[in-house]
């Protein structure tokens, strides 16, 4: 069986092709490109000969419907959308109403649990930055959500008169985190806020007796990876790997 995996985010749509028990093709397209050029911007990159399509969507119900129609027309099969559950694939959800958890966080934790069977901190640095903690048994201890790096920059530019919006990403250690221009100061300050949140989460877990592995994913994960003082693992396709794991748990893994 060949499976098409879709990670539908607010800024980008990532895809992967699962065959012979591994994701052997990946790619992405921005949501803005889809809006400008139509779904051909996506489907022109995708194979037609797939047996199943599994998707994780946080871009809203309308976009999910549009993408499902485009994929069905292109591949000839429907799209199955994953939902957050109370328990799956060795992970236990801490939410009283599990379906209220962002499904991208849920799928990322499933992938993290498959990669690391001890406690972990799962960081998805995308449009928003999410930080989720798993204990040694795969139980979700809870999480945090904060604006992503671009959103923080946009907020500063929108609500001040003299601070520009900064798109450049900077990383650094030691005294290199102190900038000598406004643009660099914004870039380092925003990154520092994200890094501090991850390092604080790690410290708190250690103070409670855990030894968590930090797992990073998302479009800005590379900048955090180069700046945090903690040992970390970087999985660019963590949500796609989580979708693969869900198929395996359902007995639908490829062969």
Please identify every residue annotated as catalytic: 104
The answer to whether the beta carbons of residues 198 and 123 sit under 8 Å apart is: yes
Question: What is the token pair recorded at 201?
Answer: 């989460």
The closest alpha carbon to 89, from 107, 102, 104, belongs to 107
Cα-Cα-Cα-Cα dihedral sign, residues 214, 216, 222, 227: negative
Q: Are 235 and 215 in contact (CB under 8 A)?
A: yes
How do strand 22-30 and strand 52-57 relate by DSSP bridges?
unpaired
Q: Using CA atoms, how far apart are residues 197 and 72, in angstroms rounded to an integer?
A: 41
Strands 52-57 and 3-8, how do they pair? Answer: parallel
């Amino acid at each position: 069986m060949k499976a098409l995996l879709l990670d539908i985010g607010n800024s980008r749509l990532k895809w992967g092709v699962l065959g012979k028990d591994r994701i052997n093709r990946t790619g992405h397209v921005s949501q803005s490109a889809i809006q400008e050029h139509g779904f051909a911007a996506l489907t022109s990159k995708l194979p037609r000969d797939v047996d199943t399509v599994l998707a994780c969507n946080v871009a809203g119900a309308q976009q999910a419907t549009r993408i499902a129609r485009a994929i069905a027309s292109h591949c000839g099969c429907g799209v199955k959308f994953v939902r957050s559950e109370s328990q799956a694939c060795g992970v236990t959800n801490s939410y009283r109403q599990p379906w209220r958890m962002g499904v991208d966080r849920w799928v990322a934790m499933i992938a993290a649990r498959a990669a690391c069977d001890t406690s972990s901190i799962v960081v998805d640095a995308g449009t928003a930055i999410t930080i989720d903690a798993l204990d040694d048994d795969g139980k979700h201890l809870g999480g945090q959500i904060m604006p992503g790096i671009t959103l923080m920059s946009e907020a500063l530019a929108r609500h001040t008169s003299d601070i520009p919006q900064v798109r450049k990403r900077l990383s650094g250690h030691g005294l290199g985190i102190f900038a000598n221009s406004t643009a660099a100061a914004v870039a380092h300050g925003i990154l520092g806020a994200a890094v501090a949140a991850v390092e604080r989460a790690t410290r708190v877990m250690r103070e409670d007796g855990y030894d968590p592995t930090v797992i990073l994913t998302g479009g800005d994960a590379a900048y955090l990876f180069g700046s945090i003082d903690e040992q970390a693992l970087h999985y660019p396709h963590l949500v796609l790997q989580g979708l693969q794991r869900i198929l395996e748990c359902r007995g639908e893994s490829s062969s």
